[in-house]
Amino acid sequence: SQTIHQWPATLVQPVGSPLSLECTVEGTSNPNLYWYRQAAGRGLQLLFYSVGIGQISSEVPQNLSASRPQDRQFILSSKKLLLSDSGFYLCAWTGFKYNEQFFGPGTRLTVL
C-alpha cells in the first residue's frame, strides 16, 4: 500500500531563517506530487506541483521554492522565512488515477 511521509510535524523558526520541509511517498512510482499551504482560517492553497524528477510548476509567486531530486521525494524550501509563511503545509500525491489525491499528515510551521 502507498504511504506518504512528511517531516518535521511541527517547526518553529525565526524570521529570516531558512526552511526545508521534506515529503516522501512509498509504494508507488512516478507520482504527481503537490505542496499546499493552509493558512489560519483559510482554504488549501496550491503552492507547487511536480509531474516528474526536476519538473516543478509554481502556482503562486512567493519566497518559497520546491525541488524534486528523486522520483518519490519532494522538498519545500525557503532561503529567508517571512512571518506570512506561517501555516500548515501539506504534501499530496496522485498516481495513475489522476482523480485520486492523497495527503500527508502535514507540517505546522510557525514563524516568529
Partner 1 sequence: DQQVKQNSPSLSVQEGRISILNCDYTNSMFDYFLWYKKYPAEGPTFLISISSIKDKNEDGRFTVFLNKSAKHLSLHIVPSQPGDSAVYFCAAISPGNTPLVFGKGTRLSVIA
- Work out which of 66, 75, 104, 111 binds partner 1, going by CB under 8 A: 104
Sequence-distant (6+) residues with CB within 8 A of 98 are 32
Name residues contacting partner 1, limited to 3-32 (CB under 8 A): 32
Grid coordinates representing 46 are 496550491
Q: Closest approach of Cβ 4 to partner 1, in Å? A: 8
Asked if 88 is part of the footprint of partner 1 (rule: CB under 8 A), the reply reads yes
The Cα–Cα gap between 60 and 66 comes to 12
Number of chain positions touching partner 1 (CB under 8 A): 22
